[in-house]
Amino acid sequence: MIRAFSKLAAVLLFAAAAAATPVAVRATLEVDPAVLYQQMKDAYAKGDAEGWNFRAEATYLSTIFNAGRAYSLQYPEDPAYGELATLTVSIGTGLHYNPLTNHDAAVWWVREAADWVSKHSEDVQLLGQAQALLQRVNSEDDPALLARLADQDANANVMAYPGDIDALLIRVEADWRAWLLTHDPQWRSLALARAAAANFPVAHLPTNWGNELVAAANRASTADGYSKADVQNAEAFIARLKAVDPIRVIASVTALPHDVYLSTLAPADEYFGQMGMSILEIENRLKHINFMLDYDYGNQESDPASNVVNSIVAMQKVYPRDRDLPMLMYWCYTTLQRMTDAQSREGARRLKAILTIEYQDSPQARKLLGT
């Protein structure tokens, strides 16, 4: 559990940094540090008033992520950048951050913050925390490891927040997302077993992954691949759900507040990456690259495609909630799959990791996870 002293220190720290003057600007959009500070302050005040349950902690961490991303994009040389990186590592560790169950789309910032701490801190404990976070955000190419870590982190939060509704929900979510990511039936079995437990808050089952879990439970008795224990757990889970379904509360910690600039659609006249591409240009470049690939240009299109990858990733940093992002990632991924060089393979790997881990509920991610 995060110590109140750490939260208070963060509030006081950011108050001092709120009037910072930009040293360097790496994003077209600028965010007022005072606004981000106020969000951190509000989240702290609310958590303090509510007794710091899991949701309050997660909300507070979300505001730290937002501030860290903003400073990375706009004020990377400001002293507050390093302080926010340190807070990201220490408080993220306290809440057992895991990219598979966190919905802030902040993997790049957590990686950057942990890397900064690894290079600049002399605190042995903090260095260990940074390395543990790096293991998690760098497990994109090892789904089995990421699944184990997600379950481990979710279990740690259930222990830290006994009986907390959101912690219990996220533990089942971790197992369900691990099943989708790995196709290892042990995770589906564990999700069904934990969903059948008497303390699981079925009335709060969210609609994104929860409805899929319900569908899987309904199929358990007739579909292949389910064990006898799976069928029993599925029946128990469905029976408990039916008992509360008329009053089911659709609420989850997945719906956390974000700063406005992290929630809006990317404007058509904003430009991303070293090549300065707008969304329209990204789409046009992908059309042209695929046109050239149809005429057997093959790996000659690798450099243009790599530039598109960089622009999409840059856009995701500033507008992680843009509705077109999953579509652009999938389109670019399938384009890269038409080439065989190392650069194209690396670009495809990079996009697939972001799409299937940070946007796992999107139709495009499910296409990749299903193949």
Regarding whether 291 and 229 lie in a shared domain, the answer is: no
* Residues 60 and 49 sit within 8 Å (Cβ to Cβ): no
Which pLDDT score is estimated for 252? 47
CB-based contact 78:71 (threshold 8 Å)? yes
Vertex 150 angle, CA 146 and 151, to 5°: 120
The span from the CA of 70 to the CA of 76, in Å, is 9
pLDDT at 14: 52
The 10 Å CB-count burial string (b at 16+, else e) for 141-173 is: eebeebbebbbebbeebbebbeebbbbbbbbbb
Would you say residue 258 lies in a domain?
A: no
Task: Please check the confidence at residue 257 and state whether its pLDDT lies above 70.
Answer: no
End position of a domain, from candidates 217, 247, 277: 247
Domain shared by 27 and 101, yes or no: yes
- Same domain, yes or no, for 223 and 133? no
Average pLDDT over every residue of 20-32: 54
Q: Which domain holds residue 223?
A: 161-247
Question: At a CB cut-off of 8 Å and minimum separation 6, what does 271 contact?
Answer: 28, 277, 278
**Residues 131, 54 share a domain:** yes
Q: How many structural domains are present in the chain?
A: 3
Residues 107 and 20 in one domain: yes
**Which domain-ending residue is among 247, 274, 300?**
247
Give yes or no: residues 283 and 189 share one domain.
Answer: no
pLDDT of residue 264: 72
Return the pLDDT at 259: 42
Q: Indicate if the pLDDT at residue 58 is higher than 70.
A: yes
Does 13 lie in the same domain as 133? yes
Nearest CA to 322 among 275, 252, 254, 270?
270
Same domain, 218 and 111: no
Q: Is the pLDDT of residue 12 over 70?
A: no
- The pLDDT tens digits of the residues spanning 309-337 come to 999 999 999 999 999 999 999 999 999 99
Contact call for residues 329 and 308 (beta carbons, < 8 A): no
Model pLDDT, residue 13: 53
The encoded tokens of residue 292 equal 């050239």
The pLDDT tens digits of the residues spanning 114-133 come to 999 999 999 999 999 999 99
pLDDT reported for residue 269: 85
Query: Residue range 200-220: average pLDDT?
Result: 94
Phi, psi of 277 (to 5 degrees): -95, 135
pLDDT band at 360 (very low <50, low <70, confident <90, very high): very high
**Do 10 and 93 belong to one domain?**
yes
- Share the mean pLDDT of the chain: 89
User: Rounded to the nearest 5°, which phi and psi values hold at 156?
Assistant: -65, -40
39 and 130 belong to one structural domain: yes
12-21, 160-169, 322-331: lowest mean pLDDT where?
A: 12-21
Q: Exposed (0-12), middle (13-18) or buried (19+): which is 130, by Cβ within 10 Å? A: buried
pLDDT of 2 strictly over 70: no
Query: Do 305 and 184 lie in a common domain?
Result: no
Look at residue 254 in the predicted model and tell me its pLDDT. Answer: 42
Q: What are phi and psi of 339, to 5 degrees?
A: -120, 165
Instruction: Say what the pTM is.
Output: 0.89
